[in-house]
Amino acid sequence: MFSEPIMSPVSAVNFWFANRVQRWLARNVPAVSSVSLHRRNIFILPTTHGLLYVAATTLIFVTAINYVLSLAFGLAFLMVSLFILSILHTFRNLHHLAVKGVGGDAVFAGEDACFTVLLQRHAERLHEALELSFPKSLISRADLIEGEQQRVNIYLPTRRRGVLKAPRLKVQTRFPLGLWRAWSMLDLDMRCMVYPAPVPGPLPGADSTAGSGKGQSTQPGGDDFHGLRNYQPGDSPKQVAWKNLARGQGLKVKQFVDSSGDRFMLDWEMFAGLDAEARLSRLCFWVLELARSDVDYGLNMPGVRIAPGRGDAHRNRLLSALAQWQQTQELDPAGNSGEAG
């Protein structure tokens, strides 16, 4: 029996067509961080509502013929003219709109990546009822009528870690009559780091300081985070792991060790026995936990070694390393849910 997936003729044609469209777009609407919309990158077609309108116009025209109603001819022609003229008005609503890719903030896999674009208008032009979206994303609406520029966030769901390149952004409008849809597909060359999804898990204590080369004792009440233990009456509320409680993992208390000046090295082997992605998720969780505590921490993975440090920049460096570990290709937005790269 056939075990390979066989493409149906229809989807083969669709695939071929989508491919052609992508290649055409790449050639004619190339990736740049800032685009001004003009007649070569704006597309325009009637909407379903526009077709309904045309049908009604035809009905009026036929009635005018059959009842010999001169004014009904006039009405039909006025509607035709309105239809034709609204091509220009819809086109004009995108024309000379400048779209600048600002970028996207890093997110954890599973969260929505937020890409920000900056819309700028000419002093004499207004742009109303703009719809910005990526394929499969929610539509963000914007009106550029008061200020001369405006930031718009478009959210794209993520599934996997890596560097997510924003797909082509569709900037679309149906203004003013909804009879035509003008749109542009822009590659604004935006990227966004997708960190692994943090997954909490116990930190095997023995190996926790393997990198520091120092033995240590667990002295409750210290500054350095060590792990979690079950809550006992009398524990300080400050030490309760509220996050874990919220996740439904019971009442735990964060154990800290007094190891000021100590360095804490997260190691790939701490989570031996798990697969790579699971390890990355747990490492990610611990990077976040450690970043909140007052300790220098570093990371040791196959091929990656980051010396201990602290601060936001340091944390982001570690998270980025986790996101990009053995990830050579950028995430394909369409196949974001697909196989690993």
Q: Which parts of 274-293 interact with other proteins (CB under 8 A)?
A: none
Nearer to other proteins, 316 or 327 (CB): 316
Residue in 11, 81, 249, 260 binding other proteins, rule: CB under 8 A: 81
Taking the complex as a whole, the smallest distance from the CB of residue 104 to other proteins amounts, in Å, to 10
Which residues share a beta bridge with 331?
A: 164
Find the binder of other proteins among 44, 129, 291, 304 (CB under 8 A).
Answer: 129
Distance between start and end Cα atoms, the chain: 29
Q: What is the dihedral of CA 224, 230, 234, 235, to 10 degrees?
A: 20
Give min distance, CB of 311 to other proteins, in A.
Answer: 16
Q: Cα(240)–Cα(245) distance, rounded to whole angstroms?
A: 8
Q: Which long-range contacts (CB under 8 A, 24 or more apart) does 306-311 make?
A: 308/211, 308/263, 308/264, 308/265
Q: Is 40 an interacting residue with respect to other proteins (CB under 8 A)?
A: no
Q: How far apart are CA 295 and CA 226, in angstroms?
A: 11
As measured in angstroms, the least distance from the Cβ of 155 to other proteins is 11
Q: Mark 168-197 with x for binding to other proteins (rule: CB under 8 A) and - for no binding.
A: ------xxxxxx------------------
Longest dimension (CA), the chain: 101
CB of 63 to other proteins, least distance (A): 6
Binding segment for other proteins (CB under 8 A), chosen from 45-53, 209-217, 259-267, 283-291, is 45-53
Question: Measured between alpha carbons, how far is 144 from 126 in angstroms, rounded to an integer?
Answer: 6
CA 223 to chain centre: 36
Q: Which residues contact other proteins (rule: CB under 8 A)? A: 36, 49, 52-53, 56-57, 59-60, 62-82, 84-86, 88-89, 91-92, 95-96, 98, 102-103, 116, 118, 120-122, 124-126, 128-129, 133, 136-139, 141, 143, 145-146, 148-149, 151, 174-179
